[in-house]
Structure 1
């Protein structure tokens, strides 16, 4: 019997960590890569590193997972809320490197993987992947997802901390020099990497988007809601103050309420697990829309999927400063086959993805008047059952299973090239 092909996956975001698209990305690859002839070996952080945890029932009992010690500098190493900045380079979980490299080497000796894969945005994961690559000689895939650096606005570089910025730049250059492949999740992120890393040959860049997991929807198994007098529009997930600033929408809701178009008896906007409830509550009071908008706490993922499938409409927010990003939630929205209202920038990747899937209920997030226009058109179409939905064939292309097929193709390509 031939030895199965294996990939060592270095990922901070992994169950039992609760929330975040990174958890679902790695979990999806781990679930579906075996169907493509690849056995995943997951190297992750100890559960102590996570501020919020949930049950790990989603994990396959056959999956090999090794956890190594990791401390959060802000939670475990601070004194009166302060900690030395050197303990948070390149991120607050830098201590993970000390335990993960020996643990990864032990896994390499025992399981003999054919490749290493590490995933950002926890930059320490890439340092671990780089170290294991240098010590083992195995080909290394850097799953960048989004760019580590953004210097497009000299007045507001990312990351803003100069020391973190310099270290991220060094890691990015190590990725350019040492990785066998660089994976991005959106066309915009891919283009940004190609501009920044012009020395890297085009064939080393790969686009593997986020997606939805069909297994999650099988467990959620919820029929869409029937007719209700009050239209329920749901935003599920974090609302960042800059990247998803809803103030133009709130201003539009305030005007529509004063004009008598929207009221508590015919419309509700439910903001689920925003991560910034206190800030949003202040805005709701400022714009006089507390009766129209409800702030709700985080739900377990399966319950969140059920809620999305039962809503009358789903709201997507994405500002123009994130035109090169697509919220992972968008793919789950598509799979829910509920009407989607996207308030974003028409030139961004999110709008392009929705148009590609046949959805044109899109408005400009930065414009109060366009938010109002897009919302009224959306409500009219949704109430009449005429809001556009993605086709089953276009939805299938967005699945985690399809993304795992793409990753397996990259792994096949690299391991066929590497020495035996």
Structure 2
């Protein structure tokens, strides 16, 4: 296999605080099936504040992983949580650049990759990608899991200026800029209208098929008289994923006799602030119907999704340019989805394109109540929409890796063509 790619990713096992590790890890696992041999340049494990050593078993045995020196300015260079702002520009892990650039050059000399790929967040990852691209001339694919410069982030002026510079350099010098949502890509096309639209590409996130290996088969349509079960698995927030209006809607349906403890059970699994969410449940008087539940291992959470009658999705206006990873897991579970969203957001668009029309504005209790009543009727009739098998296949991380491999092929073939033209 002569096609090698250097992947630069801060979030990589055993780091445990970001779901971003799944994107980098899945690409490193699935690219070889498309004739691309990846190698990973990441940070030394001691820089991660939260670690899950069990995730190390997910790294392919033959994958070359180089862990470069890095420090966390807050933990390793600060005092009682306070640290110099200058030591954390563009982010707290800028020291990683000092170790990663020499390590990357060593890898490039020894392994001769045909291109470089880096992923944001963290900003330093793109800075390393920029440096290695300039030093070696290798083509560079820049991955944006989130938009880099946002209206309300970064707030620190010095950090914002440096983010803007890194973003400008990255977008202009990379061969391809990859985004996880159509909305994010569109915003970059608008901000850089002088660049060819073909430079901007979407490769969405996805689900990992291996994680579903032990999940039970989907439950059949509910028998008459059995309570329906709705499940939400994941964090809820005061802003953007506030369940208040949903709980208000449950209270309204309960008051009308549409639902009761005998007909509906709502599980809010691992919401983060369990005490706060439980207090909301009690405030709206629906503790007999809804309840929080403690976190469980990932595979158990997936199994719970597969056994539920319907799945809940919270994604409000502050996250309009983002799509939660659980959307793709929900598709794979092949269960009906009730979306509490902003109808103008990316998540609403993805659900609509997939055929899911059981959605309501996340902050409108009246709309939620009306749409939820219809959704529950569809569940009882076994007529609620589920993801098609074609959509499930397209949503897998293996498919996303094939998309990335095709993009790599396009980039290196384009570079080869340019060199041939110049030589002629």
Answer whether TM exceeds 0.5 for this pair: yes
- Give the equivalent residue in structure 2 for 1:413: 410
Change (3 A) 1:70 1:268: farther
CA apart distance, 1:342: 0.8
- Give the equivalent residue in structure 2 for 1:190: 185
Cα-Cα RMSD: 2.2
- Give the equivalent residue in structure 2 for 1:202: 197
CA apart distance, 1:37: 0.8
Unmatched runs of 5 consecutive residues or more in structure 2: 420-424
Contact in 2 for aligned 1:18/1:52 (Cα 8 Å):
yes
- Listed as ranges, the matches of 1:39-58 within 5 Å are 39-50=37-48, 51-55=50-54, 56-58=56-58
CA apart distance, 1:142: 0.8
- Give the equivalent residue in structure 2 for 1:94: 94
Q: Distance in 1 between matches of 2:182 and 2:80?
A: 43
Q: Does 1:9 align with 2:3?
A: no
Q: Distance in 2 between matches of 1:5 and 1:173?
A: 28
- Give the equivalent residue in structure 1 for 2:422: none
Contact in 1 for aligned 2:331/2:391 (Cα 8 Å):
no
Question: The residue matched to 1:52 in structure 2 has which SS?
Answer: coil
Question: The residue matched to 1:376 in structure 2 has which SS?
Answer: helix
Q: Deviations over 1:314-352 (max 9, x none)?
A: 111111233222212101100100111111122222222
Q: Distance in 2 between matches of 1:289 and 1:71?
A: 47
- Give the equivalent residue in structure 1 for 2:379: 382
Q: Does 1:38 align with 2:36?
A: yes
Pair member with larger Rg: 2
Q: Does 1:171 align with 2:166?
A: yes
Contact in 2 for aligned 1:318/1:344 (Cα 8 Å):
yes
* Aligned residue among 180, 184, 207 for 1:212: 207
Q: Distance in 2 between matches of 1:74 and 1:277?
A: 28
- Give the equivalent residue in structure 2 for 1:244: 241
Question: The residue matched to 2:318 in structure 1 has which SS?
Answer: helix
CA apart distance, 1:260: 4.4
Contact in 2 for aligned 1:224/1:310 (Cα 8 Å):
yes
**Aligned pair count?**
412
- Give the equivalent residue in structure 2 for 1:154: none
Question: The residue matched to 1:14 in structure 2 has which SS?
Answer: coil
Q: Distance in 2 between matches of 1:190 and 1:345?
A: 19
Q: Distance in 1 between matches of 2:89 and 2:280?
A: 35
- Listed as ranges, the matches of 1:10-409 within 5 Å are 10-18=8-16, 20-50=18-48, 51-55=50-54, 56-151=56-151, 157-218=152-213, 220-225=214-219, 227=222, 229-409=226-406
Q: Deviations over 1:186-208 (max 9, x none)?
A: 11011011112223221211111
Contact in 2 for aligned 1:272/1:295 (Cα 8 Å):
yes
Q: Distance in 2 between matches of 1:262 and 1:43?
A: 53
Q: Distance in 2 between matches of 1:80 and 1:20?
A: 24
Change (3 A) 1:250 1:108: same
Q: Deviations over 1:390-410 (max 9, x none)?
A: 111122111212211111111
Q: Distance in 2 between matches of 1:75 and 1:280?
A: 31
TM-score, scaled relative to structure 1: 0.91
Contact in 2 for aligned 1:47/1:53 (Cα 8 Å):
no
CA apart distance, 1:278: 4.7
Contact in 1 for aligned 2:9/2:24 (Cα 8 Å):
yes
Change (3 A) 1:75 1:327: same
